[in-house]
Amino acid sequence: MKKITLLIILLWLPSVWLTWQPDANYFFWRHQLTMLTGALGFAYMAVAMLLAMRIPRVEEYVNGLDKGYAIHKQMGIGALVTMVMHWVLIESPKCLVSLGLIEGQQKRQRLGQLVEGINWTHWAKVVGEYTFYVFLAFVAISLIQAISYRKFRFTHKLGGAIFLAGSFHSVFLLDYQWSSAGLNSVIWLAAIAGSICAFISLTGSIGRARIVNGQVTAIQRIHDQASQSQVLHVKIKLNEAMKYRAGQFAYLNFNDGEAPHPFSVLNYDSHNQEIEFAIKDLGDYTHALYDSLSVGRAVAVEGGYGRFQIPKSSNQVWIGAGIGIVPFIAWLHYLTHLPHSTSRHIDLFYCRDNDDQTYFVKLLEKLVSKLPYVKLHIYTASHNEFLCADRVAQHIDLSQASVSFCGPISFGNALKNRLLGLGLSKQNFHSERFVMR
């Protein structure tokens, strides 16, 4: 985000330097800042549109789709802030003139006013104003966690239409003079690229090339009486092979009227084209799925996504908290198909709530028994066993190790900060931000 902001500011500065006069008044600076805030907001929206496409090369550049969604969210917030500033600048003369603080000024002529027959500038302003109000509601729905994922996904499709309206507003209200040529060129490129992404989104084509159809072949329902938590173990037979690497996640569409939801892959058998998921009951949708899913249900699997891969270092620490243990189980499945390593040592920590949560423990023990270089550590909260960075450091030399974490974000951040203080290199802490909104 800093790079985009710096680029836009650098391209904006020539217009200020080359058009500034010693007698420059409020309207000069209002015009220049309006151009800057509008360009920043539009650029943020264009990048957000690109990140939403789930393009493999873009995912690789941002180091995983989960990181891409985090940046996508930052871009949305950045666009909101700059668009509010943009709107305030546009509306400010009305208030200042009414208070007698400044005098009104004749309106500037723009490219749209030169087109005979239709006042495109007027319509660009009207579209921009109403698009801004829709955008405010759009961002609010996206950020308010209390709003269901279903409504969030439905309204998020408006993003494409909002961007197209924003493109219309922007290209007709650009400052078309030679001092703004650099900035105008970037805005036009952003408008073209973002509009292509918008059409892809509006036609429902995002991720279509990575969808593999299948059928549910087995279901196991795991219920923990102590914590009342529920996990649904689902096995799916795919019609064809899918591109997947251990540790990735996929979107599942059970054709039940809901938008596809992302879940970490528990295991993928490429030989038999079978894929497994462990889905925890965490919300309305997963709760309904736990009760209603049945064998034989058709399902579309889109993926795999993410770059949460097994590190290459010899000494590794894996930490899975709660349902965050799933990608590590996928890693273990993958390692069981490789020759035993003589140089690799792995300490795997699984943090759970109570002794009744034995489902993942049994899976872990079965897999670890086949991997002599993996040592399993179970931490149970009901026994007052809480994992911390100092306990991790007791098992391994942090200066020579890598740490991989998947679980609650606050827990991961606390571990990371303390581990870095104990000698872990920043680039050797790997985590997955499995937050899609």
Helix 158-172 to helix 149-156 angle, to the nearest 10 degrees? 30
Of residues 32 and 96, the one with the higher pLDDT is: 32
Quick one: pLDDT band at residue 120, thresholds 50, 70, 90?
confident
- Encode pLDDT of 376-418 as tens digits: 999 999 889 999 999 999 888 888 899 999 998 899 999 999 9
- Encode pLDDT of 58-98 as tens digits: 988 888 888 888 899 899 999 999 999 999 998 887 777 77
Main-chain dihedrals φ then ψ at residue 151, nearest 5 degrees? -70, -35
CATH no. for 315-431: 3.40.50.80
Q: How much of the chain exceeds pLDDT 90, in percent?
A: 54
CA 351 to chain centre: 25
Residue among 71, 76, 11 at smallest CA distance from 41: 76
Q: Is the pLDDT confidence value at 420 over 70?
A: yes
Main-chain dihedrals φ then ψ at residue 389, nearest 5 degrees? -60, -35
CATH 3.90.550.10 fits 2-202, yes or no: no
Q: What share of the chain is helix, strand, coil (3-state, %, to 5)?
A: 50, 20, 30
- The CA distance from 234 to 224, in Å, is 17
- The CA distance from 238 to 215, in Å, is 7
Q: Find the helix or strand (DSSP H, E) in which 231 lies.
A: strand 230-238
- The CA distance from 148 to 141, in Å, is 9
pLDDT of residue 88: 93
- The CA distance from 247 to 245, in Å, is 6
Q: How many CA atoms lie within 13 A of 412 on its CB side?
A: 19
pLDDT of residue 176: 85
- Enter the pTM of the model: 0.83
Q: Is the pLDDT confidence value at 435 over 80?
A: no
Specify whether the CB–CB gap between 25 and 96 falls below 8 A: no
Specify whether the CB–CB gap between 230 and 290 falls below 8 A: yes
Quick one: pLDDT band at residue 100, thresholds 50, 70, 90?
low
- Encode pLDDT of 241-285 as tens digits: 999 999 999 999 998 878 888 999 999 999 999 999 999 888 788
| Fold of the 211-305 domain | Elongation Factor Tu (Ef-tu); domain 3 (2.40.30)
- Encode pLDDT of 237-253 as tens digits: 999 999 999 999 999 99
- The CA distance from 263 to 265, in Å, is 6
Mean pLDDT of all residues belonging to the chain: 88
- The CA distance from 102 to 95, in Å, is 9
Of residues 160 and 156, the one with the higher pLDDT is: 160
Show me where the domains of the chain are located.
2-202, 211-305, 315-431
Within 10 A of 318 (CB to CB), how many other CB atoms are there?
25
- The CA distance from 130 to 325, in Å, is 46
Q: How long is the chain?
A: 437
pLDDT of residue 226: 65
Quick one: pLDDT band at residue 142, thresholds 50, 70, 90?
confident
Quote the strand ranges of 51-104, DSSP E.
none
